Amino acid sequence: VNSLEKRCQWRRPSGGGGVHMSDRGSQQDVEDPDLDGLEYLLHSAPRSCHHCDEVWPSLYLGHMFMSHNKLGLWQLGVTHVLNAVFVHCAVGVGPSATLVLAFLMIHHQHGLLSSLRFVQQKRWIFPNRGFLRQLKVLDRKLQEKGLDE
Tell me whether residue 89 is one of the annotated catalytic residues: yes
User: Strand 59-63 relative to strand 85-89: parallel, antiparallel, unpaired?
Assistant: parallel
Candidates 35, 38, 86; CA nearest to 65 is 86
Candidates 24, 6, 55, 28; CA nearest to 149 is 24
Catalytic residue from among 8, 49, 52, 89: 89
SS3 87: strand
Active site residues: 89
